[in-house]
Chains A and B, each alone.
Chain A
C-alpha cells in the first residue's frame, strides 16, 4: 500500500494542487461554478489529447514534436470530409489518418535510425505543409451534433467535455496499459536493449506507440474542430504545452516511467492557472512570465523532491 502510494505521490500532489487552485479561483471569483468548470474542461480538451499523445511516446522513450501539426491535419481533414459525407465515416477516416500519420513517424524513426526528436522535427514541417495543402485557409464544417457532444453537462457538475475526454482516453489506453503491448511500451522506454533481449519486438512496439500518439492527436484535432466549428490549417500552440504538461505530470523524459493520469491533471492545473490570472486581471505580459515561472518552478520542485527521495 505504502509503495503504491509512493508510486502515485506525484499524481496525488497534482490533485492536491488542482484542488487548491480551484479554491483560489472560487475565492477570486465567487460566481465561478458549473459553467466555469465546463469551459475549463472544454479549454483543456485539445491540450489533454495532445498531452496524452505526447505522454505515450515519451513513455516509449521518444518524443513527438509533430503532434500539433498532426492535430491540424486531422482537424482540416475532418472539417473537409464533413462537407461531403456523414459524421461517422468522416470521424472514422480522420482517426485512421491520425493513426497512419503517427505510424509513419514511428516507422521513419525505426527505419532511418535518425533520432526521434529529429525525425519528428522534420515531420512537424511535413504535416504542417500537408494541412495547408488540404485547406489553404480556415474553413470546412462540423456537424452540430458532434459539437454538442462536448458542451453542457449531462451529469450535473461533471462537464460533458470531461466525460468525452475520459471516455476517449480510457477507450484507447486502458485495454493497452495492462496488456503485453502496454508493458512492452514501458519496457522499451525503460531499457531498449534489455527489452530486445527479453524478446520484445522493439521496432513494432515503437511504431505502435507512435501510431497511438497519432490516433490521440486525431482526437485532439477533432476536439479542436468540435470547439471552433471549422478546420484551421495552422497548428496551434499545443507542442510546447504538451511537453510541459507531460513533465509536470510526472512522466520522465527518457522513457519508462509515468502514467497518463498525471499529465491530464497537469493540463487542468495549467489551464486553471490561466483562468485565475485572467480573473485576477493580471497584466497579460506578466501572465506569460508567471506561466514560465510556474512551469520551471514545479519541475524544479519535482527534481529536488526526487533527488531527495533518491537520497533518503
Chain B
C-alpha cells in the first residue's frame, strides 16, 4: 500500500511519560504515512494506551516531539487533536452515559448523516437517536465510538483495542471499514492483541516494550514470531495443549443447571460442570451468556429452572450466597471488580472480610501468605501495587483472578478473562486454569476469542439465542467448527 517514503502524516519521536514511580513511556516513537495501517503492539503495560492518549492530547508528555504532516505540533487537548485531524477511539468507551446518541453527536459536532452511514456500514442495527448511552451494550458502544470517529473524517485514526470486546461478526466489519479508510489515503494506528486481525489489516507494526519502541516491521507472513520476540524480548509462542485423553465425567456434577430461563434473553440453558473439568462457553455477543453468568454468580435471580451445587438445589439472592456455595466469579469488565485506589493486597484479600464473622481483627500472617502466593502464581507486576489503578490492564485482570486464587477455588466462573490481554499473560492464564482443574476445581470459561477454547477447555457448550444448542469436545475442535457452532449452524452441519 501507500509508500513509506512519502511525507508522513504523523511522526512522533522520543515520547516519555511517567506516572509517579511508573515510567509508562521512556522513548516511544511512531511514524504513520498516508494510506498506512500501523499496528501498535506490545505486552500489557507496554504503554500503548498511554502513547495514544499523548498523541491525542488526553495526556501531556514529559518529553518528546510530535510532528503532524511534518510540522511540529503541541496537542494540548482532545479537541485540539481533533482539529489537527487526529481522532482516537480509546480503550475505554468515551461517550457520555447520561446523554442520548443525538446529544452525544451534537456535543462533538459530529455530522449526523455520516455517523448514521458508518453505523449502518459497521452492521449495527436498531440504534435509535434517542437511546441513552448508559442503556446500550458495550459492543454497541464501541461501534458507536468508531462511527463517531469515522464521521469526523480523520487524517489519522487511532484505535485502541477496539475489537477486544466485539463479537466476531462485528470484528470483520471493523476490519473491512478500517481497510477502506486506509485505501482512501488516511493513516490508521491499530492496537490489538490478536495476530489474526493484525495480519489481515495492517501494513506495518511498531512494537513497544517497557515504554520504548523496540522495532518497526513490515507485516508479512511469519512476522508473528518476530513480533512476539520483540514484544517479550525472547522467543515465545502459543502452543496448543496436547490433546489428552478425553475426560470421563462421572459422579455428581459440581454445578448442574437445568432449564435456566432469564426473561427475556435466556430461554433454556442446561449443562453440567464436573470437578476437574474446564467447560468452555462458546457464544457470539449477546446470546445470553452474560445473563447466565449473572445467575450463576448470584447477581440475578433466574425466572425459571433450577441450579444444583454438588447435588443440592440452590437459590442465590446475593453474590455472597454463590460464594458461600463455592462459586467464584471473575467478571469481564475489571472496572466492576477492582477497588481502583486500594492496594493489590487489599484487592486480593477482599473476600476474606466479607462476612460479618470476619469483621473482626485481620489475620495478618495468614492473609499475607495467601496473597503473596496468588501474586507469585500469577506473576503480577507489583511495581505499582500501592494502587491497583496504576497497574496495566493485564495486571489488573490478574488481580481479579488472584483474589479467588487466594481465597481458594472450588468453582471458578471466568467471563472473558483474557479480554485485552497480551500473549504472555494469556500464556500464564491457560495453564493456570488447567492446573486449577487438575487440582479438583471446576471451571466455567467464557471467551470471546474462539481460538482460546481448544487451548483451555475440555468441553464447551454453545449458547445461541438464549439456549444451549450444542456441546462439543473442545480439545480437538477446530476454530471453524466452533465458529459454525457459535453462529447456530450445527443442525445444518449435522444434516449435510
Interface residues of A (CB under 8 A from B): 3, 180, 183-184, 186-187, 189-191, 193-201, 256-257
Contact = CB atoms under 8 A, between A and B. Distances in A.
Given A180-B107, A196-B58, A191 B96 contact: yes
Contacts of A199: 77-79, 82, 108
A198 B98 contact: no
B103 interface: yes
B95 A184 contact: no
A184 B94 CA distance: 14
28 contacts: A180-B106, A180-B107, A183-B99, A184-B107, A186-B96, A186-B99, A186-B103, A187-B96, A187-B99, A187-B107, A189-B98, A190-B96, A191-B98, A193-B92, A194-B93, A194-B95, A194-B96, A195-B96, A196-B58, A197-B88, A197-B90, A198-B95, A198-B96, A199-B79, A200-B79, A200-B107, A201-B77, A256-B97
Nearest to A4: B130
A30 B406 CA distance: 71
Given A183-B103, A184-B107, A187-B107, A256 B90 contact: no
A198 B89 CA distance: 10
Contacts of A186: 96, 98-99, 103
A101 B94 CA distance: 32
A178 to B, nearest CB: 9
Nearest to B90: A197
A190 B97 contact: yes
Contact of B94 (A3, A180, A194): A194
Greatest chain A CB density within 10 A among B88, B95, B96, B106 is at B96
Given A256-B96, A256-B98, 9 more contacts: A180-B107, A186-B99, A191-B97, A193-B92, A194-B96, A194-B97, A196-B78, A199-B82, A256-B97
Determine the main DSSP class of A at the interface with B. Answer: helix
A187 B134 CA distance: 12
Size band of the interface chain B makes with A: 20 to 34
The 9 closest A-B pairs by CB, nearest first: A199-B79, A190-B98, A256-B98, A197-B94, A187-B96, A194-B94, A199-B78, A190-B96, A183-B107
Contacts of A193: 92, 94
Nearest to B152: A199
Contacts of A201: 77, 79
Contact of B98 (A184, A197, A257): A257
A184 B98 CA distance: 11
B453 to A, nearest CB: 33
Nearest to B87: A199
Contacts of B79: 199-201
Contacts of B108: 198-199
A198 B107 contact: yes
A187 B103 CA distance: 9
A184 to B, nearest CB: 7
Contacts of A184: 107
Contacts of B103: 183, 186
Given A190-B98, A195-B96, A183 B77 contact: no
Contacts of A183: 99, 103, 106-107
Contacts of A187: 96, 99, 107
A61 to B, nearest CB: 10
A197 B94 CA distance: 6
Contacts of A197: 58, 78, 88, 90, 94
Contacts of A256: 96-99
Contacts of A191: 96-98
Greatest chain A CB density within 10 A among B77, B78, B93, B107 is at B107
A194 B93 CA distance: 7
Nearest to B80: A199
Nearest to B106: A183
Interface in B363-419: none
A200 to B, nearest CB: 7
A194 B58 CA distance: 10
A190 B99 contact: yes
A198 B87 CA distance: 10
A193 to B, nearest CB: 8
A210 to B, nearest CB: 20
A195 B97 CA distance: 10
Contacts of B130: 3
Nearest to A3: B130
A183 B105 CA distance: 10
A183 B130 CA distance: 14
Interface in B65-79: 77-79
A197 B108 CA distance: 10
Contacts of B82: 199
Contacts of A257: 98
Contacts of A198: 78, 94-96, 104, 107-108
A258 B73 CA distance: 40
Nearest to B88: A197
Greatest chain B CB density within 10 A among A186, A187, A189, A196 is at A187
Nearest to A199: B79
Nearest to B131: A3
Contacts of A190: 96-99
Interface in B127-184: 130
Nearest to A59: B98
B134 to A, nearest CB: 8
Nearest to A258: B98
Interface in B276-320: none
A184 B58 CA distance: 17
A195 B92 CA distance: 12
A230 B77 CA distance: 48
A201 B77 CA distance: 8
Contacts of A195: 96
A100 B334 CA distance: 43
Contacts of B58: 196-197
A187 B99 CA distance: 7
Contacts of B78: 196-199
A183 B88 CA distance: 21
A1 to B, nearest CB: 11
Contacts of B104: 198
